[in-house]
Chains A and B, each alone.
Chain A
Amino acid sequence: MILVRKIFGKISLKLIGVVSVTVILIIGVYSYFNVTSQSDVLLAEVERHANQLSESVKNSTRYVMLLNQRDHIQEMINRIGKDPAIDNVRILNKEGEIIYSAHPEDIGKMLDKQAESCYACHAENKALEKLPIRQRTRIFKTHSDSSRILGIINPIYNEKSCYLADCHAHSENAKVLGVLDITISLTEVDEQIKQNEIREILFAVIAITAIGFIIGFFVKRWVDHPVRELVNATDQVAAGNLNYIIKNLSTDELGTLGKSFNNMIKKLDETSQQLYQSTKMASLGQLAAGVAHEINNPLTGVLTYSSFLLKRTKDNPQMQEDLNVIVRETLRSREIVKGLLDFARQSTPKKSSIDVNDIINHAIAVVNNQLKLNKVNLVKELDPSLPKITADANQIQQVFLNLFVNGIDAIGQNGGTLIVKTSQISLSPRGITQIKSAVCAKTHSLIDAEHKIGGMPSLRMKIKSNGNEGFVNIDPVYGSYRHYFGIAYDKNSSVNLACPVCDISFLDKNSKCPKCGGPIYKFQIPNQGFLEGCASFKDDWQKWDFVDRAGEKKFVEINVTDSGCGIPPENLNKIFEPFFTTKGQRGTGLGLSVIWGIIDNHNGSITVESKVGIGTTFSVRLPQQ
């Protein structure tokens, strides 16, 4: 069984089981009727044969009887009785006395009228006249273990020639003179029926096994393999391999499932790329800020002291000249650092209500000449009902400019198409909404900018478990579970979560986690209600009514598609990195990383899809409102 299970798997085994039972039922019923009808036909044949025999016996004995030559009759009957197929031939008179018999020892015996050979005629205790053949035959066994016997009775009716015969044995008014009873052994027929049965059963068994194997084969092919492949893929993904793709997809539902699976993994991969990028960009900005801060302080010293020397050496022209170089070069350094900061800082957006379509049109106007020069056919599919969004107009225009220029660059000299499309989409708030502020009952902030999860400041709480005390950093993305536990933490022990400042507990004694029944934590999000979550951290249950009630989050989506050279897969996750370029001296490699920073600052997202030789689509999503 285990082996079978291994070969076929559970679902397949069930399927094969169900189909087999159905097949067995159908073939069983079919065989049963087949066997019965066959034996019916055989019996009818034997019956007809017996009837004929009995008829011919009656006819051939008729004459001898008229002559009343008893020895003759007996001898005839003996002869007939010798036929191996015939069990017995007897003639009984009206009173039930055996007059002739192939078994001579029976002669003279009386038969009870209740005996089977009489029953057909005397059932209603009246003498019989004409009976159909069906009622004249009977099948019986002499002993329970002897073979079956078919008996047929043939009444001998009174005729003129009988009562006028010389012997005067019969009176004129008797209707039936006696009965010819022939019994035939059914051994041979029974043998044949049995063989039929065996054949039928053999056929059924072969048919069932064959069907079982055929079904097994196709189930394995159509169900088992794809399911195994899905399970395998899930394992791979769980182990962190986000590049796994299910190949050889069929066209049925399982194929569709596989396709959605591949799609899901792709999305997952993109998202994790984005988070990775976000962390990197954030740290790049921090690095630049740190460097600038550190450099500006010593520069202050250099600038101050060299200026003083300049003042103090007014009478030394040679010295003045040298010092002027120092001052000038320090001032230049000041500008360089400022430039670095301007890039890395990606200043907090100056948001106002903007019309994305408008901004796209402005950006197009800027690159119009370049479009013409490169013979690029621009297709605009702008949704006229696009709502306004709150964003920094200059920065968003920068985003589109960079995307357009990249698209034009990718198209090159030989012309092509650039499609700009805007639309509105809705996405579930879970997994995308960032918790930007959170406080305890005494309004101490839980936001921990030092510890970032997915590039965003996390929420810090004090955690006490098993006598251990430390901190837990909660994932700042609603519904996402990338918490960081600062202490070894046992999910099955009791836990307490508290404010790091005032120690007030976050556990809500009045509710239980609907997933695991454990305790829940609850804290306030200023102006946005409360957030609850599973405090045993056994599962990812979280509830944020304020956001859930608002329903799906609405985004404005902008797709920029070019028919350019495309991006090879190995470059796809590098293009957003600062200084990555394939354009040599012509590119700085900052375009997309600046775009990335801007979109991140707007709580939006950017994704890319590309096929080498066919083209590239960048999709930008910006939150509405």
Chain B
Amino acid sequence: MKEQTNILIIDDEEVVISSISKIATLEGYSVDSVLDAFSALQKISSSKYNLIICDIMLPGMDGFQFLAELESKRIDTPVIMTTGYSTIENAVKSLYTGAIEFIPKPFTVDEMISVISRGIKYSSIMKLRKSNDDSILLVPCPAKYYRLGYSGWMNKDNDGSVLIGATDSFIKTIDQIKKIELLSTNEKLTQATPAVKFETEDGLVHQLYSVISGIIIAGNERLINEPELLEKDPYFDGWIYRIVPTELEYEMKLLIPCSSDRS
């Protein structure tokens, strides 16, 4: 399967392209690269890619415009965004605009390997779903939930606190979970920054971004001993943190309502 996987890298810096290429080729993927988004669009029209890794700040057309262009051309190749000017706004905005992942520069090799691995997995799941293959069943996120990109969800509770967790699609893009590392209570979470670490059987470490900012008032201790809860019931028993949100009103604007997934 790996022989046919193609990754397109878009970045205006040679050193970044060569770094990502090196990581990807050593992982066994084949790689193509361009220095700007216009050439990328040309490449995409002539050959098929499983994954695109795109810089936000590009000469001419920037990453956001590129995402919009893909959407208007109905190209659904998953896109991972990178940027040297890594602000939370950029991360959230790119996830809102259609990117599946966001990885700030500079990244470590391990971080990049995990992100690519999730991206490729996501790409193949989507392909299977399109071909109506029922061997993969994605549990949809409940209608009143909101999600950040495709990976995390949040649900407002009646008492004003908020539950956050991982979506089924995120769990399905990683291998069997070996170990979960939770932050302790009273720690502060910031939207679109790492909140949970998952170690998987394949030796990778995956980080789940926090959906919104807030103070942790409880972690789901059951997950430590029963990580399979996440796979069995990702939206209820498999919750990860209960938090008191600090910027709810503002941050919710950039989340995607799960109700929109059903249309």
List A contacts of B13 (CB < 8 A): 297, 300
> In the complex, are the beta carbons of B84 and A301 less than 8 A apart?
no
List B residues 148-197 near A (Cβ within 8 Å).
none
List A contacts of B107 (CB < 8 A): 300, 303-304
Instruction: Pick the contact of B109: A295, A304, A352 (CB < 8 A).
Output: A304
A289 and B86 alpha carbons, distance in the complex (Å)? 9
Q: Does A338 contact B (CB under 8 A)?
A: yes
A302 and B104 alpha carbons, distance in the complex (Å)? 15
> In the complex, are the beta carbons of B19 and A301 less than 8 A apart?
yes
Given contact pairs A302-B106, A307-B109, A297 touches B84 in the complex (Cβ within 8 A): yes
CB distance from A338 to the nearest CB of B (A): 7
List B contacts of A304 (CB < 8 A): 19-20, 22-23, 106-109, 112
CB distance from B109 to the nearest CB of A (A): 4
Q: Does A293 contact B (CB under 8 A)?
A: yes
> In the complex, are the beta carbons of B106 and A334 less than 8 A apart?
yes
List B contacts of A303 (CB < 8 A): 19, 106-109
Q: Does A251 contact B (CB under 8 A)?
A: no
Q: Does B15 contact A (CB under 8 A)?
A: yes
List B contacts of A347 (CB < 8 A): 87-89
Given contact pairs A297-B13, A297-B15, A350-B247, A308 touches B87 in the complex (Cβ within 8 A): no
List A contacts of B261 (CB < 8 A): none
Tally chain A residues at the interface, Cβ within 8 Å: 32
Instruction: Pick the contact of B84: A292, A331, A351, A352 (CB < 8 A).
Output: A292
A350 and B190 alpha carbons, distance in the complex (Å)? 13
> In the complex, are the beta carbons of B85 and A301 less than 8 A apart?
no
A518 and B107 alpha carbons, distance in the complex (Å)? 59
A348 and B249 alpha carbons, distance in the complex (Å)? 15
CB distance from A69 to the nearest CB of B (A): 141
List A contacts of B86 (CB < 8 A): 296, 338, 341
Q: Does B32 contact A (CB under 8 A)?
A: no
A479 and B159 alpha carbons, distance in the complex (Å)? 49
Nearest residue (CB) in A for B247 is A350
Q: Does B201 contact A (CB under 8 A)?
A: no
List B residues 11-49 near A (Cβ within 8 Å).
13, 15-16, 18-20, 22-23, 26
Q: Does A299 contact B (CB under 8 A)?
A: yes
Nearest residue (CB) in B for A305 is B19
List B contacts of A297 (CB < 8 A): 13, 15-16, 84, 105-106
A307 and B109 alpha carbons, distance in the complex (Å)? 6
> In the complex, are the beta carbons of A293 and B106 less than 8 A apart?
no
List B contacts of A311 (CB < 8 A): 109
Instruction: Pick the contact of B106: A296, A351, A352 (CB < 8 A).
Output: A296
Q: Does A330 contact B (CB under 8 A)?
A: yes
Return the CB mask of B74-90 against A: 1 if under 8 Å, else 0.
Answer: 00000000011111110
Nearest residue (CB) in B for A294 is B84
List A residues 270-308 near B (Cβ within 8 Å).
289, 292-305, 307-308
Q: Does A554 contact B (CB under 8 A)?
A: no
A297 and B249 alpha carbons, distance in the complex (Å)? 34
Q: Does A113 contact B (CB under 8 A)?
A: no
Q: Does B110 contact A (CB under 8 A)?
A: yes
List A contacts of B104 (CB < 8 A): 296
A348 and B15 alpha carbons, distance in the complex (Å)? 30
Nearest residue (CB) in B for A345 is B87
A472 and B74 alpha carbons, distance in the complex (Å)? 39
Nearest residue (CB) in A for B21 is A304
List A residues 341-400 near B (Cβ within 8 Å).
341, 345, 347-348, 350-352, 392, 394
Nearest residue (CB) in A for B112 is A304
Instruction: Pick the contact of B250: A308, A330, A351 (CB < 8 A).
Output: A351
List A contacts of B22 (CB < 8 A): 304-305, 308
> In the complex, are the beta carbons of A307 and B106 less than 8 A apart?
no
> In the complex, are the beta carbons of B84 and A296 less than 8 A apart?
yes
List A contacts of B83 (CB < 8 A): 293
CB distance from A15 to the nearest CB of B (A): 65
Counting chain B CB atoms within 10 Å of each CB, the highest count among A294, A305, A307 belongs to A307
> In the complex, are the beta carbons of A289 and B85 less than 8 A apart?
yes
A330 and B22 alpha carbons, distance in the complex (Å)? 19
> In the complex, are the beta carbons of B84 and A293 less than 8 A apart?
yes
A174 and B247 alpha carbons, distance in the complex (Å)? 136
List A contacts of B20 (CB < 8 A): 304
CB distance from B250 to the nearest CB of A (A): 4
Given contact pairs A293-B85, A308-B22, A299 touches B106 in the complex (Cβ within 8 A): yes
Q: Does B126 contact A (CB under 8 A)?
A: no
Q: Does B251 contact A (CB under 8 A)?
A: yes
List A contacts of B15 (CB < 8 A): 297-298, 300-301
Q: Does B258 contact A (CB under 8 A)?
A: no
Q: Does B218 contact A (CB under 8 A)?
A: no
> In the complex, are the beta carbons of B249 and A301 less than 8 A apart?
no
A289 and B85 alpha carbons, distance in the complex (Å)? 6
List B contacts of A296 (CB < 8 A): 84-86, 104-106
List A contacts of B246 (CB < 8 A): 394
Q: Does B57 contact A (CB under 8 A)?
A: yes
Return the CB mask of A171-184 against B: 1 if under 8 Å, else 0.
Answer: 00000000000000
Q: List 16 additional contacts besides A300-B19, A304-B19, A347-B88; criterion CB under 8 Å.
A: A293-B84, A293-B85, A295-B84, A296-B104, A296-B105, A296-B106, A297-B13, A297-B106, A301-B18, A304-B20, A304-B107, A304-B112, A305-B22, A308-B26, A345-B87, A350-B251
The chain A residues found within 8 Å of chain B, CB to CB, are: 289, 292-305, 307-308, 311, 327, 330-331, 334, 338, 341, 345, 347-348, 350-352, 392, 394
User: Can you report 14 residue pairs joining A to B where beta carbons are below 8 Å apart?
Assistant: A292-B84, A296-B105, A297-B13, A299-B105, A300-B13, A300-B107, A307-B108, A330-B106, A338-B86, A341-B85, A347-B87, A347-B88, A350-B247, A392-B250
